[in-house]
Amino acid sequence: DIKRAAAKFARGEFQPELAQEYECNHQFPRELYKKAGELGFIGLDYPNEVGGGNMGVIENALIIEEFCKADSGIGMAIHLAYLPAKIVKLFGTPQQHQKFLAPLVKGDWVSAVSFTEPDHGSDLTRMESTLEEKTDGFVLNGTKVFTTNGTYADFFIVLAQEDQEAPPGKGMTTILIERDSSTWLGGEMKINEIPNKMGLKMVSSNELVFQNLKIAKENILGERGRGLLNVLDFLDESRIEIGAQ
CATH code, domain carrying 152 = 2.40.110.10
Query: Is 230 within the bounds of a domain?
Result: no
Q: What Cα–Cα distance (Å) separates residue 168 from each residue in 124, 165, 230?
A: 9, 9, 15
- Rounded to an integer, the average pLDDT of 88-116 is 97
Q: Check pLDDT > 90 for residue 122.
A: no
- Rounded to an integer, the average pLDDT of 24-30 is 95
Number of domains in the chain: 2
Query: Is 72 within the bounds of a domain?
Result: yes
Domain that holds residue 70: 2-108+238-244
What pLDDT, on a 0 to 100 scale, did the predictor assign at position 73? 96
Query: Is 40 within the bounds of a domain?
Result: yes
> Do 35 and 84 share a domain, yes or no?
yes
Q: Check pLDDT > 90 for residue 43.
A: no
- Rounded to an integer, the average pLDDT of 165-193 is 96
Indicate which CATH number applies to the domain containing 77.
1.10.540.10
Could you report the per-residue pLDDT of 80-90, keeping only the tens digit for each?
999 999 999 99
Query: Mean pLDDT across the chain, nearest whole number?
Result: 95
What pLDDT, on a 0 to 100 scale, did the predictor assign at position 6? 96
Query: Is 34 within the bounds of a domain?
Result: yes
Read off the pLDDT band of 244 (50, 70, 90). confident
> Do 44 and 72 share a domain, yes or no?
yes
Residue 171 CA to residue 163 CA, distance in Å, equals 5
Contact 27, 34 (CB under 8 A): no
Q: Check pLDDT > 90 for residue 204.
A: yes
Residue 63 CA to residue 57 CA, distance in Å, equals 10
Query: Is 232 within the bounds of a domain?
Result: no
> Do 74 and 134 share a domain, yes or no?
no
> Do 118 and 177 share a domain, yes or no?
yes
> Do 40 and 138 share a domain, yes or no?
no
> Do 80 and 130 share a domain, yes or no?
no
Residue ranges in the chain assigned as alpha helix (H)? 2-13, 16-24, 30-38, 57-70, 72-82, 86-91, 94-96, 102-105, 227-244
Q: Check pLDDT > 90 for residue 20.
A: yes
Tell the burial category of 185 from Cβ atoms under 10 Å away from its Cβ (0-12, 13-18, 19+).
middle
> Do 39 and 121 share a domain, yes or no?
no
Query: Is 166 within the bounds of a domain?
Result: yes
Q: Check pLDDT > 90 for residue 126.
A: no
> Do 129 and 220 share a domain, yes or no?
yes
Query: Is 170 within the bounds of a domain?
Result: yes
Query: Is 231 within the bounds of a domain?
Result: no
